[in-house]
Structure 1
Amino acid sequence: MRILVTGGTGFVGQAVVRELVSRGHQVWAGSREGREGGAGQAVRLDVTDPSSVLAAVAAADPDAVVHLVGIIAEKGTQTFQAVHVDGTRHVLAAVPRTARYVHMSALGADVDSGSGYSASKGRAEALVRDSGLRFTIFRPSLIFGVGDDFFGRVLRELVSAAPIVPQIGNGAFPFRPVSVQDVAQAFAGAAEADLGLGETYALTGPQEYTFRQLLELELGALGKKKPIVPVPLPLMNLAVPLMNLLPSPPITRDQYAMLKEGNTAPNEPARTVFGLPMLALRDQLPEILGAAKG
């Protein structure tokens, strides 16, 4: 098959491209710079530019399109509306009507969410469902793997920066992280076969953790022993807006809102439908942190 992957040089994109290539498909890895991603054929693709999307689709002439482009924080013209909603609209308009379309959303996607990120993901999903395409939507939880941003950087810095580890509120917010390998296998399976047509699947791992347990797991993998100190939510509610006055805030308002909501769901039926290996965070974390350190 000929498959176009938007965001093909990102953390998840590279894993999806490698998985598709390993299955014998001809893959185009789209990115704003059109740079090589280590697998597949590079093609310039900026989802905020309709002409760029049309040109990339024309070059690939795909049997399937995997749309992965997303941002976790807004910067300049790269807003949630521009990237998640308008970008999805541009891709949907360019996809051949006979092609399969596989869409990256997120757990918590909801047009009524208080998080701008989650609300935009919900609006993008609505566009997909109204597109008339043969689609599958995936909603991953936190994605872990070598090169990930959350476990390899954000959480690592949080537990390493000070003599104590700050915990948001009571730390009971639930998460069910999923490996990038599981995510790549799910997307590849949906792209190459008529699995889950018209369905929306949560992509979550084999074990649920509270936020406090994630902090403890990160500390243990780093070989650190530090006290974890709860920070009351009223204090966090005051501190986060002040942090966002910094050029690179340690946590954005949207990330804070999503952390408080938690991020969990059962791993069925996706695990069975796509035959996912369900790799465990505890087993992968030492390699993730070792690569981040190097």
Structure 2
Amino acid sequence: MNILVTGASGFVGRAVVAELRARGHTVWAGSRRGEAVAGAHGLKLDVTDPGSVQRAVGQADPEAVVHLVGIIAETKDQTFEGVHVGGTRHVLAATPRHARYVHMSALGARGDSGSGYSSSKARAEGLVRASGLRWTIFQPSLIFGVGDDFFGRVLRELVSTAPIVPQIGDGSFPFRPVSVQDVARAFATAAGSETGVGETFRLTGPDEYTFRQLLELELGALGKRKPIVPVPLPLMNLAVPLMGLLPHPPITRDQYAMLKEGNTAPNEPARTVFDLPMRRLPEHLPEIVTQAKKG
């Protein structure tokens, strides 16, 4: 099949492109810079520019579109509304009516979320369901793998920066991380078949952890021993906005809101429908943090 992947140069995008190519598909890698990815044809594609999207889709002439573009923090040029909602609207409008469409959302996407990220993802899902295309929506939890942002940067910096490790509240917020390989396998299977048409699947891993357990795992993977000190939520509520004044804050307000909500769900039916191996975080975390340190 001829498949266009948006956001192909990102962490998940590279894994999806590689998986699709391994299955023999012709892949067009759409990104703002238009670079080739894992041997796939590179295409300039800015989802916030409808003309750019139309040109890329016209060149690729896809039988399937995998839409992965997303941001985890807003900038002056990129907002959750512009990228997640507007970008999805532009991609849906350009996608040929006969094409398969597979969409990256997020676990916890809902309109009343305290996170701008999650609420914008929910609005984008609404556009997909109303599109009339043969769509499938995936809602991944925290995605781990070499090059990921959460375990490779956010959590690593959180446990490495100070002599103590600050724990948000009582640390009981639950998470069920999923590997990028499992995510790529699910997207590739859906894009190349009719499996899951008109359905929404939560993508989570085999094991659930509390936030405190994730901190302990990260410390162990880094070979560090530090005390973990709970920080009361009222104090965190004051500290996080102040962190936002830094050039590169360790955690944004939006990420803080998502952490407090937790991020977990059963891994069925996605595990069975897409035959996912369900890789486990502790087996891969040492390589993730080692590679992140080299970077």
Question: What TM-score, normalized to structure 1?
Answer: 0.99
Shift of 1:249: 1.4
Q: 1:145 matched to which residue of 2? A: 145
Q: Provide the rounded CA distance (Å) in 1 between the counterparts of 2:137 and 2:118.
A: 15
Residue 106, structure 1, aligned to residue 106, structure 2 = yes
Where in structure 1 do 4 or more consecutive aligned residues deviate above 6 Å? none
Q: 1:199 matched to which residue of 2? A: 199
Q: 2:216 matched to which residue of 1? A: 216
Q: Provide the rounded CA distance (Å) in 1 between the counterparts of 2:251 and 2:293.
A: 21
Q: How does 1:183-194 map to 2 (within 5 A)?
A: 183-194=183-194
Q: 1:38 matched to which residue of 2? A: 38
Q: 1:180 matched to which residue of 2? A: 180
Shift of 1:154: 1.0
Q: 1:61 matched to which residue of 2? A: 61
Shift of 1:112: 1.5
Q: 1:273 matched to which residue of 2? A: 273
Shift of 1:225: 0.7
Task: Extract unaligned runs of 5+ from structure 1.
Answer: none
Q: 1:242 matched to which residue of 2? A: 242
Q: 1:22 matched to which residue of 2? A: 22
Shift of 1:242: 1.2
Shift of 1:81: 0.5
Spell out, residue by residue over 1:132-191, the C-alpha distance to the aligned partner (whole angstroms, 9 max, x if none). 000000000000001111111111111111110000000000000000000000000000
> Would you say the 8 A contact 1:138–1:200 is kept in 2?
yes
One-letter amino acid of the counterpart of residue 177, structure 2: P
Shift of 1:37: 2.0
Q: 1:155 matched to which residue of 2? A: 155
Q: 1:12 matched to which residue of 2? A: 12
Q: Provide the rounded CA distance (Å) in 2 between the counterparts of 1:13 and 1:133.
A: 22
Spell out, residue by residue over 1:47-81, the C-alpha distance to the aligned partner (whole angstroms, 9 max, x if none). 00001000010111000000000000000120000
Spell out, residue by residue over 1:82-131, the C-alpha distance to the aligned partner (whole angstroms, 9 max, x if none). 00000000000000001000000001101121111100000000000000
> Would you say the 8 A contact 1:14–1:39 is kept in 2?
no
Q: 2:225 matched to which residue of 1? A: 225
CA RMSD of aligned residues (A): 0.6
Q: 1:165 matched to which residue of 2? A: 165
Question: Aligned residue pairs: how many?
Answer: 294
Shift of 1:29: 0.5
One-letter amino acid of the counterpart of residue 225, structure 2: K
Task: Extract unaligned runs of 5+ from structure 2.
Answer: none
Q: Which stretch of the first structure deviates more once superposed, 240-249 or 105-114?
A: 240-249
Q: 1:122 matched to which residue of 2? A: 122
Shift of 1:39: 2.6
